[in-house]
Amino acid sequence: MRLVSGRNLTHISGLWLLLFPVLVFGGEPGSAESYGPRADRGIFGERPADHGTYQDKSPDQGESAQRERLDPRLQLLLAALVPGLPQLLEGKSRAYGYFAAEAVSIAGLVVLTSRGDSHGSRYRTLAQTARRNFVFTGLRNNPDEVADPNIPGYGEYYEDMLKWSSSGDLDNDPSQPGIQPETDTRTYDGHQWQIAKINNYTLSNGGIPAPGSLEEVQLALEAYQRQVYPLELNWDWTGLDAEYREYHHLFDQSEAAYRRRSGFAALLLANHLVSVLDVLVSEKLGASNSLRKTGVQVHLEMRRPLSAPNGAPPLPAVTLSRRF
């Protein structure tokens, strides 16, 4: 996410290089006090001995005027919990930019989560239709229906239903002892059996994997059983073309909503971080004697880029001004 425009990036980088000694050491660059903390100086400026809050001189009211401010530690806590609140308490208009970004990000998270869950519920209902449509060997239909197979280890189940029109038969011939794997490679189970043979058979017969021993056959069967789904989760979209297309659409819409949600989550986190940095920068620069002597003021403001569409939230930007 862009926090500042490219046009201001060069100016901001140069500013930080110039102000680094001031921000870190609290004194004038090159002076003795810039290389070590003063005993009567806190991290954000001077703390009067007879007062419980920090004070700062306002350039607009002259060097002798002072205004009381919240304790910086309290400001940091408020900025981390409610972005824009410490700025609002100090009468800074950019607080409303933080509030707007917070509202937009939370609303986006709520709306997109609800949309993703709604589409997910609908495509899972269609998945039940595909499972009921599956016909076992020797049986009329799937006898063990499950409502929502969110089983540990089957996280890609619904995605596999998207890729394969049929699961195939776990056991091609239940009348024989053991498992007779699915051989149709157009199905999910048949594809998994083909992979198991390629990975475990050492011989080849006309390009077809062939076992070199009974042990290889057993290893391939074990690999096959680890990859295929249990009987009650088999599916078949045959004859359900409209439902299959709707399943594709709903699945894609649900995943797209969840992907877009991550962008709003990043905006929410960035809004909290920028609010905290705003407090840190404002307090440190406000306590800098070097900047007071030069008359340079640094402002962190919320501005909407000229190229941004209508309704887009403002973004933080750093501006410089000098008092003559």
End-of-domain residue from the set 238, 257, 276: 257
Over pLDDT 90: what percentage of the chain?
Answer: 35
Query: Does residue 252 sit in the same domain as residue 269?
Result: no
Distance CA 123, CA 157 (A): 12
pLDDT reported for residue 293:
56
pLDDT reported for residue 282:
79
pLDDT reported for residue 102:
94
pLDDT reported for residue 70:
73
Confidence category of residue 90, pLDDT binned at 50, 70, 90: confident
pLDDT reported for residue 151:
52
pLDDT at 49 over 70: no
pLDDT reported for residue 167:
92
Contact 234, 167 (CB under 8 A): yes
pLDDT reported for residue 244:
94
Over residues 242-253, mean pLDDT:
94
Residue 70: inside a domain, yes or no? Answer: yes
* DSSP string covering 51-81: -SS-EEE-GGG-TT-EEE---HHHHHHHHHH
Query: Does residue 233 sit in the same domain as residue 297?
Result: no
Confidence category of residue 82, pLDDT binned at 50, 70, 90: very high
Residue 289: inside a domain, yes or no? Answer: yes
Residue 208: inside a domain, yes or no? Answer: yes
Confidence category of residue 163, pLDDT binned at 50, 70, 90: very high
Over residues 274-293, mean pLDDT:
71
Structure-token pair, residue 29: 């660059």
Query: Does residue 138 sit in the same domain as residue 236?
Result: yes
pLDDT at 166 over 70: yes
Residue 102: inside a domain, yes or no? Answer: no
Residue 100: inside a domain, yes or no? Answer: no
Residue 101: inside a domain, yes or no? Answer: no
Query: Does residue 66 sit in the same domain as residue 117?
Result: no
pLDDT reported for residue 91:
86
Least confident of 38-42, 143-147, 203-207: 38-42
Helices 6-25/241-286 angle, 10° precision: 50
Regarding predicted confidence, which is higher, 172 or 112?
A: 112
Query: Does residue 208 sit in the same domain as residue 302?
Result: no
Query: Does residue 243 sit in the same domain as residue 213?
Result: yes
Helices 241-286/72-81 angle, 10° precision: 170
pLDDT at 108 over 90: yes
Range of the domain at 24: 6-94+265-322
Residue 99: inside a domain, yes or no? Answer: no
pLDDT at 119 over 70: yes
Query: Does residue 249 sit in the same domain as residue 308?
Result: no
pLDDT reported for residue 132:
86
Nearest CA among 17, 92, 57, 11 for reference residue 289: 57
pLDDT reported for residue 16:
41
pLDDT reported for residue 173:
80
Query: Does residue 284 sit in the same domain as residue 300?
Result: yes
Over residues 271-300, mean pLDDT:
71
Regarding predicted confidence, which is higher, 150 or 197?
A: 197
Report the mean per-residue pLDDT for the chain: 74
Domain count, the chain: 2
Confidence category of residue 25, pLDDT binned at 50, 70, 90: very low
Query: Does residue 119 sit in the same domain as residue 84?
Result: no
Query: Does residue 31 sit in the same domain as residue 120?
Result: no
Query: Does residue 143 sit in the same domain as residue 246?
Result: yes
End-of-domain residue from the set 257, 283, 314: 257
Regarding predicted confidence, which is higher, 258 or 71?
A: 258
End-of-domain residue from the set 207, 238, 257: 257
Query: Does residue 112 sit in the same domain as residue 253?
Result: yes
Residue 1: inside a domain, yes or no? Answer: no
Regarding predicted confidence, which is higher, 38 or 299?
A: 299
The angle subtended at Cα 288 by Cα 283 and Cα 294, nearest 5°, is 130
